[in-house]
Structure 1
Amino acid sequence: MSFQGGVLLLLRKTGIEAAMKKYDVILPKKVFLGKDQTIFEQYAKEHIITDLNLAREVLQEIFPDDIPAFDAAMKQHAMYAFNMFCMRKPLFDSYCAWLFPVLFALEKRIDYKKRDRYQKRVFGFLSERLFNVWIYRMHLRTVERNVRFLRDDKSFRNWLWKKINF
C-alpha cells in the first residue's frame, strides 16, 4: 500500500500476480542504516548482540554452508525489514524449512522471559536479519515496493474502508 500524489494505491491481487510473473519475491524497499553502520553494528546498538552471535553459531551447526552468506549479509549497510514479503508457496515453504529450525534452536538458548517488552521481541528481530541472509544466499529475482505506516485511529480506518470498498 502506498500514497502517491495524495491517492491511496494498494498492492492488489492483479499487481501481485503481474510481479510474480517476473520476480520470485516482492520485498519492502531496503532500509538504509547509514554508510558507517552495518546490519551487525545496528543490531549491536539496538539489541543484545549475543543473540545475533548465537544465531550465527546455530546456523553454523544446522546450515554450515550458509555462514558465508550470514557474514556477507551482516556487513551490508541496508536491510529488508518488517518481516514482510510476497512469494510463491514452494519458496515460502523453503524459507520456513530453513528459518524455523534456527529459531527453535535459538529459543532453547536465549533466556528472553526476563527482558523488557521490546527486547522480548528477539525472535522477530533475529528473523529480520536472517531473512536478509536467506535472500542473499538464494540469489532470487526480487522487486522492492514502498511500505507506508498508517495511523491507527477509527476515522482513518473508516476512510480506508470506504476507499477500498467503493
Structure 2
Amino acid sequence: MAKIYIAGAHSRGITTGFYLKYLDPSLEIVAYLYDNDEDNPSDVDGVPVIRIDADTKLEVDIVVYLATRGVNRGHLTDTLRKIGMKHIVPVDVKFDTELRNRFLTKYFAEQNREFIKIYNYNTEEGAPLSAERKRFQIYVASAVFDQKLSNSYSLDESERVIQVGTALADQRLDAAYFDNTGDNISEKNRQFCELTALYWIWKNAREDVVGLAHYRRHFLLPDNWKQIMDREKIDVILPVPLYVYPSLEDNFRNRHVGEKWDEMLLYLKENRPEDYENASHFFKNSGLFFPCNMLIARKEVFDELCEWLFPIEFHVAEAGGVLEDRYQNRYPAFIAERLITYFFEMNREKYHIVYADKNFLE
C-alpha cells in the first residue's frame, strides 16, 4: 500500500487528496500538513491534520503533494525541505488539470454518464459551416481593482474585455464594453463580482452565442470551437467541474457565512418549491461544481439561466446585506457558482452540454 502526505489542509489539499484516493483506493494518506497560524481542522475523515516545523519527524521517503495557495507554497516548501522530505510534488495548474480530468473520467463512467469535452470532437478546421453566419462573443470580465498579471496573454479573436464595477471606479480600462451602460447592475460589483457582467450580457448582448470568462481565467478552446459548437448542436460549454469537500452545501458553510446559504434555500422554499426539494438534495449530496461563473452558451440558453438565477441572487443580497469582510461580502457570487451548477445539472437532458479546460494566469 502506497503512502502519501498532503501539504495543505484547506479546500485545495482536501480536494487533491480526494482525487488521488478516488483514483487509487489502496492509497493511504498519512496526514495533512500545514505550517502557519491559519485555522485548520483537526482531521479530515479521520486522517490527522498536523502542524509542522523544521523539527517535526515525518517519513522522509513518502511523497508529499504540495496542494495549497500560492501565498503559502514557498514557506511550506522550505519547511518540508528542512525536515528532509525527498519527494515534493507541487500541485500546480497543469497537475491539477490532469488529475481532475482523470478523476472525472472515472467518476462519470461509474455514474453511467459521458464526460464529453469539446476536444472529443473533430478539431480539424474543415469546410465553413453555418457558424460563419452566426455571431460569437466571449466577454472577459476585468476591473481596475484586479491584480496585475505576471503572465502574458493575448485575447482570442472571439474575446472582448468588459470592465466590471465601472460605476464604482473613476478609471476606465481599455475595454470594448462597460458594465454601467444600458440595463445594468454595475454598482453591485463589490458583492456580485463577475455577475455584473453576466447580467449585462443577458440584458444588452445581441450575439447568437455568448460567453463569460475572467481576466485571469480563460477557456482553452480548439481553434474551430465555433464550428464544433454549431455542427454538433452544442448548447453550452462549461468549465471542467471540480470537486469540493464534503458537499456543495457543507463546503459553502465551512468557507463562507452559512446564514447566506439559508437565505437562498428559504427563497427557493417560499417561491420555487419545485426547485427547493431537488436543490436541497443536490447540494447535500454532490461535491461537483462548475467554478468561476464561467460559461459559453447559445444566447437563448444563457437568457434562460439568467431569468432563473437573478431573482434568487437579488433576494439573497437584499436579505443578507453588506458584510465588512471584503472576501465574504462576495457571497452572492459564491452562491451563484452553486446555483449555476444546479441549474445545468437539473437540465442536462434538456441541453447539450460539453466541458472545456480553463487556464489560470498569475
Structure 2 CA distance, aligned partners of 1:13 and 1:71? 39
Deviates more, 1:25-34 or 1:87-96: 25-34
Q: Does 1:73 align with 2:273?
A: no
Structure 2 CA distance, aligned partners of 1:148 and 1:89? 24
Letter in 1 for 2:263: L
Equivalent in the alignment of 1:142? 353
Structure 2 CA distance, aligned partners of 1:13 and 1:83? 23
Q: Quick check: which has more Rg, 1 or 2?
A: 2
Equivalent in the alignment of 1:47? 256
Partners of 2:243 and 2:289 within 8 A in 1: yes
Q: How does 1:104-119 map to 2 (within 5 A)?
A: 104-112=314-322, 114-119=323-328
Name stretches of at least 5 consecutive residues in structure 1 with no aligned partner: 152-166
Percent identical among aligned pairs is 26
Q: Does 1:19 align with 2:268?
A: no
Specify the SS of the correspondent of 2:292: coil
Structure with more of its chain in strand, by fraction: 2
CA gap of 1:146–1:65, structure 2 versus 1, over 3 A, is same
Deviates more, 1:10-19 or 1:66-75: 10-19
Q: How does 1:119-130 map to 2 (within 5 A)?
A: 119-130=328-339
Q: How does 1:92-103 map to 2 (within 5 A)?
A: 92-103=302-313
Q: Does 1:131 align with 2:340?
A: yes
Specify the SS of the correspondent of 1:82: helix
Q: CA deviation at 1:13?
A: 6.8
Give the TM-score taking structure 1 as reference length.
0.77
Structure 2 CA distance, aligned partners of 1:47 and 1:134? 21
Letter in 2 for 1:52: W
Partners of 1:28 and 1:84 within 8 A in 2: yes
Specify the SS of the correspondent of 2:355: strand
CA gap of 1:73–1:17, structure 2 versus 1, over 3 A, is farther
Structure with more of its chain in helix, by fraction: 1
Structure 1 CA distance, aligned partners of 2:332 and 2:325? 14
Partners of 1:30 and 1:78 within 8 A in 2: yes
Structure 1 CA distance, aligned partners of 2:223 and 2:324? 40
Q: CA deviation at 1:10?
A: 4.6
Structure 2 CA distance, aligned partners of 1:136 and 1:91? 14
Equivalent in the alignment of 1:163? none
Partners of 1:69 and 1:136 within 8 A in 2: no
Letter in 1 for 2:229: A
CA RMSD in angstroms comes to: 2.4
Letter in 1 for 2:304: S
Letter in 1 for 2:234: Y
Structure 1 CA distance, aligned partners of 2:220 and 2:240? 16
Q: CA deviation at 1:136?
A: 1.9
Q: CA deviation at 1:23?
A: 2.5
CA gap of 1:10–1:107, structure 2 versus 1, over 3 A, is closer
**Residue deviations 1:18-53 (CA, integer Å, cap 9, x gap):** 13534221011111124xx01111101110111111
Q: CA deviation at 1:12?
A: 5.8
Letter in 2 for 1:136: E
Structure 2 CA distance, aligned partners of 1:94 and 1:56? 20
Equivalent in the alignment of 2:273? 64
Letter in 1 for 2:298: R
Deviates more, 1:123-132 or 1:72-81: 72-81
CA gap of 1:22–1:115, structure 2 versus 1, over 3 A, is same
Moved beyond 6 Å, runs of 4+? none
Structure 2 CA distance, aligned partners of 1:10 and 1:105? 34
Structure 1 CA distance, aligned partners of 2:280 and 2:265? 9
Deviates more, 1:95-104 or 1:64-73: 64-73
Specify the SS of the correspondent of 2:325: coil
